[in-house]
Chain A
Amino acid sequence: NAGVMQNPRHLVRRRGQEARLRCSPVKGHSHVYWYRQLPEEGLKFMVYLQKENIIDESGMPKERFSAEFPKEGPSILRIQQVVRGDSAAYFCASSPRGLIYNEQFFGPGTRLTVL
């Protein structure tokens, strides 16, 4: 999975602050997926984006969470007014095409801790 970059790797926020998580996909990949892993659980799908478009956001909480994948630059997952329950590992994956499942390459994740 070389090439998928996520930063920061660790992020600490106090309740009520904003968290911004960045994902730079593998060069040439135009599809990005965000997943969240709560402690002792598997990864849960949040959102699927192509360049400048949200394709599937069925896993995104209705409030406080948003994602974008601009024409230039990394994909951003933004969490406003964080709460302790947002503490988790957030992984992004990229792929060169959609619907080719075994071509999703995962980044190392951002571990968010909300105090």
Chain B
Amino acid sequence: DQQVKQNSPSLSVQEGRISILNCDYTNSMFDYFLWYKKYPAEGPTFLISISSIKDKNEDGRFTVFLNKSAKHLSLHIVPSQPGDSAVYFCAAAGSGNTGKLIFGQGTTLQVKP
């Protein structure tokens, strides 16, 4: 039962262009969403988050959009840089009383110079 889905396993963009990573979820009880970035042989690093009471959150080059009616969120990276090349995971929280996160499968982003 995959409650959080990232349907694109990989994405390749040119340096300077926009990267858009997508994530869908099925559980309407989720009330908080996060994006993590992961390099090989390292743990995930928190990138940006959004509460379900908002539809947009911005932090520098990173913006997360939330469409609750569609149960969809996306991460925009503008402009993309080669150092952004990594695996990106979306995660959802709030379906229980604990802080556990439900992760998507990840999308590998490659930013070409």
Please report the total number of B residues contacting A with Cβ < 8 Å.
26
A4 to B46, CA, bound (A): 14
Pair B46/A98 contact, Cβ less than 8 Å: no
* Chain B residues in 8 Å Cβ range of A56: 96-98, 100
A107 at interface (Cβ–Cβ under 8 A)? Answer: yes
Pair B45/A33 contact, Cβ less than 8 Å: no
Most buried by B among A1, A31, A102: A102
User: A101 is contacted by which of B32, B42, B89, B104 (Cβ under 8 Å)?
Assistant: B32
B83 at interface (Cβ–Cβ under 8 A)? Answer: no
A2 to B61, CA, bound (A): 23
If A101-B32, A102-B34, A102-B49 touch, whether A48 touches B43 (CB-CB below 8 Å) is: no
A28 at interface (Cβ–Cβ under 8 A)? Answer: no
B44 at interface (Cβ–Cβ under 8 A)? Answer: yes
B:49-92 near A, CB below 8 Å: 49, 89, 91
A15 to B4, CA, bound (A): 32
* Chain A residue at minimum C-beta to C-beta distance from B44: A106
Most buried by B among A4, A33, A44, A104: A104
Q: What range describes how many residues of A lie at the interface?
A: 20 to 34
Pair B98/A55 contact, Cβ less than 8 Å: yes
User: B43 is contacted by which of A40, A42, A44, A109 (Cβ under 8 Å)?
Assistant: A109
Shortest A26–chain B CB gap in Å is 12
Pair B42/A108 contact, Cβ less than 8 Å: yes
A16 at interface (Cβ–Cβ under 8 A)? Answer: no
A58 to B43, CA, bound (A): 22
Pair B98/A43 contact, Cβ less than 8 Å: no
* Chain A residues in 8 Å Cβ range of B98: 48, 55-56, 98-99
A4 to B45, CA, bound (A): 12
Pair A48/B106 contact, Cβ less than 8 Å: no
Pair B45/A44 contact, Cβ less than 8 Å: no
B101 at interface (Cβ–Cβ under 8 A)? Answer: yes
Pair B43/A91 contact, Cβ less than 8 Å: yes
Sample of 6 more A-B contacts, CB < 8 Å, known A102-B46, A107-B43, A108-B42: A4-B43, A33-B101, A43-B89, A48-B98, A99-B98, A106-B43
